[in-house]
Each structure stands twice: as C-alpha cells, then as structure tokens.
Amino acid sequence: MSNHQPYSFFHSVERSFDKAASFTKWEKGLLEQIKACNSIYSMRFPVKMDDGRIEVIEAYRVQHSQHKSPCKGGIRFSDEVNQDEVMALASLMTYKCAIVNVPFGGGKGGIKINPKKYSVYELEKITRRYTSELVKKNFIGPGIDVPAPDYGTGEREMSWIVDTYASLKPGEIDAAGCVTGKPITQGGVRGRKEATGLGVFFGIREVCNMPDVMAKLGLTTGVVGKTVIVQGLGNVGYHSAKFFREHGSKVIAIAEYEGAIFNSNGLNEEEVFQHRKATGSILNFPGATNIAKSTDALEIECDILIPAALENVINGDNAERVKAKIIGEAANGPLTPEADEIFAKKGVLVVPDMYLNAGGVTVSYFEWLKNLSHVRYGRMEKRFTENLNTHILTQMEELTGKKVSDVERNFILHGPEEVDLVHSGLEESMIAATREIMAIWKENPTIPDMRTAAYVCAINKVGTSYTELGIFP
C-alpha cells in the first residue's frame, strides 16, 4: 500500500490536481499532459573548494510546462533539494503563473547544498558552473527558461547567473532577461522586495470587498477595522502587516519563533521590527502582551490570519481551535489537507497560497518585460503626464477661481515612477485573479474550497492554451 512508499511532494500536487480536474471538462489525455513534467535535467558537476578538495554538486532544473514560453521559477539552495521536490515546485509554478495571467510555463531549480557551509567564493563558483551547465543544455535564456531567487538565493546569485549567461552568449541583446530578481543596477525592477506582501494584501482586500463572501462569513465589507494576525515577521509577513495597517486594519498579534505579542489596539510592524533588531526578540514590546508559546497566537480571535513563515503550521492538531474567519496563505503550504477539511466544514475562507503569494512572480514578469524593452518603466510617460496634469489643473483652477490643497496638487500632478507602475500592475493582476477564481467557485458551488477553485482556474487556462496551440490534431 501507498503508506509504505516514501512521501512524494509531487504526488501530493498530482492528487490536488486530480481532485480539481474532476470539476473540469478536459479529456483525460490532455489532463495527463498538463500534469506531466516536460523536461527534467538532473546534473552532477565538480567544484574545487577553497581547501583544494573537489566536491561533486547535485543539482536540478525542471521545466514542468512549455505551454507558454519561457518557463519561470526560482532556484533553491538547500540540503533538502531532491528531484521530486523540484518537480512539485515546478508544477506549482505552472498553475501559479496561469492563475495570475503571467504568460510563462512553470519551472524550478535546485542545488543540494547548505549555502551557510560555503564561502562566498565557493558559492559563486557553484552558481556560475550551474549556469553554464544550463546554457550547455539550452535550459536557460530569456525565451527558454528564466530562473529567479528562492530559498537560500537572492540578488547576489542572480547577478552571477546573468553575468555567466551574458559572457557565454556574447551579443545576445536580451541577455538581462535570462533571470529575474536582479539588483536594480543589473536590470532589476523597483517594487520587487515588497511584491509578495503587497500581493497578499491586494488579494485579501479584493475578497473583503465582495459583499456576498463577507456576508457568508458574518463580516462587513472592506479591510478597514478588520483585525489581523501575522505569523513570521520576515519579508512577506512584514510587508503584509505594513499594507494592512496602512489601509486601516489592526494588526493585533505578530508571531515569531521565539514567541508572539498581542495588542488589541494594533501593532506597528516597523516598530516591532526595530525592537526585535535591538533586543534580539519580539517579546517585551512596549504596550503589548507576551505570548510565550508562539503558535498560541494562531488561535486568538481575529478576522484575518496570515501565516507567513513556514509550511504545515496549521494542521489536524490545531485547526479546530483557530478562530479566524479568513486565512490568507502568504507562506507556501502553511495548511495541511487535514486543516483544509476542518476549515471547509467550519466555513472558514482559506485564500490559497498558489495565487495569493504570486506577487513575486508577477513582478518578475514585469522585470523580464523591462529587460526585453530595455527601458525603465515610466521613463517615456512620467514627464508628459506631469506636464499634462499641470495644464489641466491650472485650467480648472482658472475657470473655477478655486485652488486645490498642496496635498491634492502633488497627488494629481504626479507622473508615474517605475515603482508606481509595478504596484498598479500587481494590483490589477491580483484583483483579476481573485475575481476569476471566485467566479469559478460561484458557478460551481460543489467545488469544496477556494484552493480547488484556484486549481480549476489554472487547469482551464493551461488546457485552453494547449488546445489553442493545436498540438492535438
């Protein structure tokens, strides 16, 4: 029986897929094609370490789907990397991109190393050798497969990748588009750092703006005044908390691994962050109550719970005690299937990770577009818009004999900077995706939860794309 087989992340993605596929009209063969990982590159290469030893490095790149090109997905540096995990993550990228209408296939890469155990020079050699292996096999390129950061990698590694790629492909004018998540000076885009947290906020806000959905949950519409609890004050948690607070919600508790803090009047994430930096702990924040056992914070009564730290934190053991009405999966996989079932029964709305944390890949898409167009967003229209707005406002003031306030003037005259356009493109993408998923769920109320509706949304889009490609004569 299957319980003697080792756990497979990829099979668990396949199971979720199959569950959702039963709510679609696609024929079996096409569903099999959507599910399959198209290309798997498993590699081993030697790298000479600082002490002269040769180490054989195990690494992967998986292209799950080429229904759209290029493939897209991060590169992970972790001891836990294995082929099954990279396959699962690559398939999730296909579905994630489809849902937020990012025209890419799914991909993922991994190098089985603990980056903390290597010197910067060793990491650079590993990253550059990995990139040249990808180039040799045609597994990277602005029109083929575009990696990005994931666990254990960041801007630094992306710089090494683009530099290696460009040096092996002299004269390739679009070389900067071979990877995203680059520093701004190397072709990166403004607004990426906060993208995932901001996307989480936009997605949840859109759900909160749906009167019928809120009525079912016994909540008023809008995010103003809603109570929020955030687990994890890292990149995603910090920015989610920031945008909820700035839009009138109250972040009443923040949980970190050393404990949690609670204040019914609301917490300011930046002050908490500075306190943690100064004291080494989130605990003893002025005006807040300490919660010694961090996970107890997940069980406090609130409107919106945002797990933004780790996977499997809400499971069969604690889901029953969670009192939130909405759970926004900012982290990847924070809920287990047992928790999903409990929440579906309790009528708790779980907004799924697969699309809710897609802000990063959406902004990656904007970075790639910027690289292909070779121009910073806003450069062409900012000054024109400002001149035009100044003209319109001056005319209106002359005609009415009244003047607007300085605050209003600055707002009206402002022409878009790169970051404004990136944020607005992200807002549009998250709103559109939320509405599409909800429309599917409404059309078919037998779909058990929003996660399954999101999968249905993805399958329908990839299915349509394959059919329109005409590869099944």
Which residues are tagged catalytic?
108
To the nearest whole angstrom, how small is the minimum distance from the Cβ of residue 27 to ligand NAD?
A: 33
Q: Which of 24, 159, 357, 460 binds ligand NAD (CB under 6 A)?
A: 357
Q: Which of 111, 233, 253, 272 binds ligand NAD (CB under 6 A)?
A: 233
> Which residue's CB is nearer to ligand NAD, number 215 or number 310?
310
> Which residue's CB is nearer to ligand NAD, number 30 or number 233?
233
> Which residue's CB is nearer to ligand NAD, number 354 or number 456?
354
Q: Residue 185: left (phi > 0), alpha (psi -120 to 50), or beta?
A: alpha
To the nearest whole angstrom, how small is the minimum distance from the Cβ of residue 348 to ligand NAD?
A: 20
227 binds ligand NAD (CB under 6 A): no
Q: Which of 256, 367, 418, 436 binds ligand NAD (CB under 6 A)?
A: 256
Structure token pair of residue 59: 């690494």
Q: Restricting to residues 186-225, which ones interact with ligand NAD according to CB under 6 A?
A: 196
Strands of 105-111's sheet in order across: 39-48, 54-63, 105-111, 71-77, 145-149
Burial degree of 248 (CB within 10 A; 0-12, 13-18, 19+): exposed
Question: Look-up: residue for tokens 């993605």?
Answer: 13
Among residues 212, 197, 195, the alpha carbon closest in space to that of 244 is found at 197
Q: Which of 17, 78, 234, 413 binds ligand NAD (CB under 6 A)?
A: 234
How many of the chain's residues bind ligand NAD (CB under 6 A)? 20
Residue 181's alpha-carbon distances to 158, 172, 236, 327, in angstroms, are 6, 19, 15, 28
Distance of alpha carbon 146 from alpha carbon 2, whole angstroms: 35
Strand partners, 261: 254, 290
Q: What Rg, from alpha-carbon coordinates, does the chain have?
A: 23
Burial degree of 63 (CB within 10 A; 0-12, 13-18, 19+): buried
Burial degree of 168 (CB within 10 A; 0-12, 13-18, 19+): middle
> Which residue's CB is nearer to ligand NAD, number 355 or number 377?
355
Q: Tell how far CA 149 is from the center of its chain.
A: 11
270 binds ligand NAD (CB under 6 A): no
To the nearest whole angstrom, how small is the minimum distance from the Cβ of residue 86 to ligand NAD?
A: 14
To the nearest whole angstrom, how small is the minimum distance from the Cβ of residue 151 to ligand NAD?
A: 7
To the nearest whole angstrom, how small is the minimum distance from the Cβ of residue 295 to ligand NAD?
A: 7
Q: Which of 111, 140, 236, 342 binds ligand NAD (CB under 6 A)?
A: 236
Q: Restricting to residues 311-340, which ones interact with ligand NAD according to CB under 6 A?
A: 330-332
Q: Which residue is nearest to ligand NAD (CB)?
A: 234
Distance of alpha carbon 376 from alpha carbon 246, whole angstroms: 28
Q: Which of 8, 132, 235, 281 binds ligand NAD (CB under 6 A)?
A: 235
Residues in the chain, overall count: 473
Strand partners, 146: 72
257 binds ligand NAD (CB under 6 A): yes
DSSP assignment of 120-186: HHHHHHHHHHHHHHHHHTT--BTTTEEEEE-TT--HHHHHHHHHHHHHHSTT-TTGGGG-SS--GGG
81 binds ligand NAD (CB under 6 A): no
259 binds ligand NAD (CB under 6 A): no
Distance of alpha carbon 371 from alpha carbon 207, whole angstroms: 33
Q: Which of 147, 232, 378, 463 binds ligand NAD (CB under 6 A)?
A: 232
To the nearest whole angstrom, how small is the minimum distance from the Cβ of residue 233 to ligand NAD?
A: 5
Binding characters for ligand NAD, 159-178, by CB under 6 A (x = yes): --------------------
> Which residue's CB is nearer to ligand NAD, number 253 or number 462?
253
- Site residues, ligand NAD (CB under 6 A): 196, 231-237, 255-257, 294, 308-310, 330-332, 357, 360
